[in-house]
Amino acid sequence: MKVAIIDADLIGRDKHRFPNLVCMKLSGYYKEFGAEVELKTDYEDLAAYDKVFISKVFTDTPIDEKLLKLPNVEYGGTGFFYDKAPKLPDEVEHHIPDYHLYDEWVNEQIGNGKKRNDFKEYLDYSIGFLSRGCFRKCPFCVNQKYDRVFEHSPLEEFYDPTRKKICLLDDNFLGCPNWKSLLQQLKDIGKPFKFKQGLDERILTDEKCEMIFSSKYDGQVTFAFDNIEDYKLIEKKLQMIRRHTDKIMTVYVLCGFDRQSKYDNEFWQLDIFDMMKRIKLLMEYQCLPYIMRFNKYVESPYQGVYKTVGAWCNQPSFFKKKSLREFGIVSGIDSARNRYIVDFEKMYPEFREYMDMKWQ
């Protein structure tokens, strides 16, 4: 049997640099039964294969809908179905991933001059879910299918001892009733690990902080601060964190999402200020904000402000050294970046407070 596996995000997104776990599981499953499996990086000659699997994570990844109607094609993933994506068969879902599916493509990229570090997730990490589900039901999030967090896979199901590190894709790990035992398993292995999604800071306890910050964590621990309504709770949790560690952390900051679905000028103005207020709090506790812009932000009359603040925050080398005003000036007095924030300050003088705040 000839099987083609297509990672649509790999083809359709210029800077996509993360392996598709479903693709790797499908490859591992079919190789076990003797199939000839190929990672296909185009959509040509699909009729030459007995089975073609197409997977994508992102809804805006382009694909020709005609391909999906071919008799030998099956497709899936949140990119096609959002939160209604059908489950994989259990025998595929719980199969160890084929960590060599992308080898030829990665070697080709590196051979063409790309940096190996850009492909570290393909080369160095065991990848999987210890738990699945989330109880938050955040309206902007794809995780709407479940209303609880539950154990999904034992670590040995996707752990490859030859790989240096572990990457977890759990939706809300700290909400899992058995989080402590699962985290202890990770600690016992002794290899660096990380959670790809931001951890839920709102349900931190001293016990959770103690275990997380005493772990062999890979890089900076990442949390999320999505809603200004959580300001006081987040501040309390930041104080708790600082009792356990002085390490710098990254915190995702969602902006451009209107929970009332109005998206009028009043919302856009307030959302800018809410974003900056969250950034200021994180700055005070030595956390690096990472701006996550909801796709509706492009409809904002202030989309340039979102872009400039994002460029400032998402480049720590700038964020740690310069205020937002200084960042704009560095971009050039007459640059679009500088004009966006200066014009906003002229319209709303109270924005000056946030133009001049600085990492200490």
pLDDT digit string (tens) for 85-140? Answer: 889 999 999 999 999 999 999 999 999 999 999 999 999 999 999 999 988 888 87
Q: Decide if 7 contacts 20 (C-beta within 8 A).
A: yes
Please compute the mean of the pLDDT values over residues 9-38 and round it to a whole number: 96
Of 264, 354, 266, which is closest to residue 308 (Cα–Cα)? Answer: 354
Which residue has better confidence, 140 or 245? 245
Structure tokens belonging to residue 8: 């649509």
- Give domain status of residue 236, yes or no: no
- For 103, residues 6+ apart whose C-beta sits below 8 A from its C-beta are none
> At CA 195, angle to CA 26 and CA 123, rounded to 5?
50
Of 273, 303, 300, 278, which is closest to residue 288 (Cα–Cα)? Answer: 278
- Give domain status of residue 327, yes or no: no
- Give domain status of residue 217, yes or no: no
Residue found under tokens 């699962």: 182
- The whole domain housing 37 covers 1-120
Residue 144's pLDDT is 75
| Cα–Cα distances in angstroms (integers) from residue 210 to residues 183, 214, 322, in the given order | 11, 6, 33
- Give domain status of residue 99, yes or no: yes
Please compute the mean of the pLDDT values over residues 213-232 and round it to a whole number: 96
Backbone angles phi, psi at 69, to 5 degrees: -95, -5
DSSP alpha helix (H) spans, the chain: 8-12, 21-32, 78-81, 90-93, 103-111, 120-123, 179-189, 206-213, 231-244, 265-284, 303-313, 316-319, 324-331, 336-347, 352-355
Structure tokens belonging to residue 307: 């872009």
Tell me the C-alpha distance between 9 and 24, whole Å.
Answer: 14
Residue 33's pLDDT is 95
Please compute the mean of the pLDDT values over residues 13-29 and round it to a whole number: 96
Lowest mean per-residue pLDDT among 55-64, 137-146, 184-193, 350-359: 137-146
Tell me the C-alpha distance between 2 and 4, whole Å.
Answer: 7
Residue 63's pLDDT is 95
- Give domain status of residue 169, yes or no: no
Residue 145's pLDDT is 81
Number of CB atoms found within 10 A of residue 112's CB? 7
Of 244, 332, 250, which is closest to residue 287 (Cα–Cα)? Answer: 250
Residue 320's pLDDT is 96
Tell me the C-alpha distance between 54 and 270, whole Å.
Answer: 41
Tell me the C-alpha distance between 234 and 249, whole Å.
Answer: 14
Q: Average pLDDT of the chain? A: 96
Q: Decide if 272 contacts 302 (C-beta within 8 A).
A: yes
Please compute the mean of the pLDDT values over residues 330-335 and round it to a whole number: 92
- For 257, residues 6+ apart whose C-beta sits below 8 A from its C-beta are 139, 140, 294, 296
User: How many domains, the chain?
Assistant: 1
**Residue 84: which pLDDT band, with cuts at 50, 70 and 90?**
confident
Residue 237's pLDDT is 98
- Give domain status of residue 242, yes or no: no
- Give domain status of residue 263, yes or no: no
- Give domain status of residue 60, yes or no: yes
